[in-house]
Structure 1
């Protein structure tokens, strides 16, 4: 697999800026009684390394939908001169169901950036947990439709090129059809959120992360996995970790305490990395 290889100084500087974003995000959450959890590779790094995975170049947190919507309103009303929030509401052509808290005047852009009118700065990903229906039939229907929304959202804005030929032909055809009929990311996102709201239920046994990669099914967890938090060291601070982090990490990575072989220690394929005013 193709991956970036940073020199140690550049990677450490990138991680230091992402840690700064995390600290400022935590401050907002604590001041407004909002709950977040370390997630995905950042949860793995917290447990296995007490910080960043040594070769990792991003940062991930997750929140329940209600807390995220509150965070979004609080952040947007603050009119920050340091950060901007990239989400479906702040950028109508944004095509992910996760959001990004980004440092202004920086760049951390992948190869699809020439297909969009917005930029990506050095950032922290904010994933969202939504309720799943309790009945098996309804739950399967919700997952399949959510999976479809996720794929349509991406295909409505960019042409996916790094795919097998037959898959690329299909996704490019979908891109042209969606654009021919004027079906933009903002329209798909609105329908998706309306669909998710139908299943809001604080007693739901399962919750899920709808924003899994386009070729993957949404990631499912038990609500009890997140019923409380524990504090764990991450670099020079303590962060929130779901009480049942072991179950979550096993479902995501299997034997997560074992290091992967060197050839699998990869990170994002960035087209442009610009530290802007935070230059080394």
Structure 2
């Protein structure tokens, strides 16, 4: 029996419309999949629990892999393992992929890291004077990427949101425009302000409330029980680590996640992918 979604579409009709075999999007998805497999294997090698996150969990549950119109993979590790994982990736470089953070790319001011593909390039088709384009072009590495986010418990939601606003302002106001001021601001937040927020969280936060770490721009609040321990999940035919309760995680973030959004709400990133 062919599964039909609330919109009347099927998995096959979605594939043919958005990411058919041989399309640029499908080629990008398969490159990202290879990058995610590399990250998962590396994490297992050094004993770091690392799982797929966000829309990829949704995609695994609803489509068995990528959301058909999506060109994104997010992975998360515990904050306590984040630096060790990133340091290992930098110390043992892959021939085609590079770990991007503020150490390897002075135009990158985010509180998470990316694994970047060196044999592709994301080219923005935002307006030349747009903030997103300026932020993108300030970075040294611009290939396809897998985001690697730290997450932690003992979070204070309003403080996490405030931290995100501070981080966003550095990227929006200074990236690509005032590099010295951007770097100084980033270092101040990264080394002094956010560690202070983290200390406040450990004193007054909820140990069973998990969120992306201070400075990340994502605000889902998840109970510990749906986050850990990790549980295997199948994504594009490969077994990855996933959340302990992917159904609850998706319901918190997306509501009735098995329904497809209307066509005009299907978010597609405003970039063109060029393969080298």
Structure-1-length-normalised TM-score? 0.77
Moved more, 69-78 or 223-232: 223-232
What corresponds to 1:149 in structure 2? 166
What corresponds to 1:130 in structure 2? 152
**Structure-2 change in CA distance of 1:228 and 1:7 (3 Å):** closer
Q: Is the 8 A contact 1:156 1:184 kept in 2?
A: no
What corresponds to 1:30 in structure 2? 44
SS in 1 for 2:242: strand
Q: Deviations over 1:175-194 (max 9, x none)?
A: 88x97798443333333442
Q: Which runs of 4+ in 1 moved over 4 A?
A: 178-183, 200-203
Equivalent positions of 1:36-75 (< 5 A) are 36-75=50-89
Unaligned runs of 5+ in 2: 1-16, 125-132
Equivalent positions of 1:81-230 (< 5 A) are 81-110=95-124, 111-112=133-134, 116-133=138-155, 139=156, 142-158=159-175, 183-198=184-199, 199=201, 204-210=207-213, 212-213=216-217, 218-230=219-231
Q: Is the 8 A contact 1:131 1:207 kept in 2?
A: yes
Task: Give the aligned CA root-mean-square deviation in angstroms.
Answer: 2.9
What corresponds to 2:31 in structure 1? 17
**Structure-2 change in CA distance of 1:226 and 1:84 (3 Å):** same
Q: Per-residue deviation at 1:212?
A: 5.0
Q: Deviations over 1:158-215 (max 9, x none)?
A: 48xxxxxxxxxxxxxxx88x977984433333334423542458981212114554xx
Structure-2-length-normalised TM-score? 0.78
